[in-house]
Amino acid sequence: MRQRRLGMSLVETIFAFFIMTLVILAVINLFPSSLMANRRSELSLQANALADRVLEEARAGGFSQLTAGVRPPVTVQVDSVAYTQVFQVGQVPGQDFNSLRSLKVRITWSVAGHPQELVREVWVCNVRS
């Protein structure tokens, strides 16, 4: 009877090490892309919060304060990222401007040299006419 070997040969050890190295490198390569995706979603959430704030401030000012036109761009610096916001009051197509107005805010910023944009629009009704 032949006696069975219990250990691994040098070739098997090198092959197992090679496979483990490939798996570890694949996992390590996932980290930068997941960090970038996390950063992009963080910046997008911040832009959403800015847009909400601009729209809520405009709505809180009252319907009579919402004159038609585009406001000058405002740049806000948050955590080393420059967000540019443009606010616009306009007419809703097919509606009377004195009873219904469109509020639109456009937020732009850049991530790793790639421009990003968020546009939010709400309609505001004059309930005291």
Domain extent listing, the chain: 10-125
Cα→Cα distances 94→76, 91, 97, Å: 34, 8, 9
pLDDT < 70 regions, the chain: 1-3, 5-7, 128-129
Residue 8 has what pLDDT? 73
Residue 6 has what pLDDT? 66
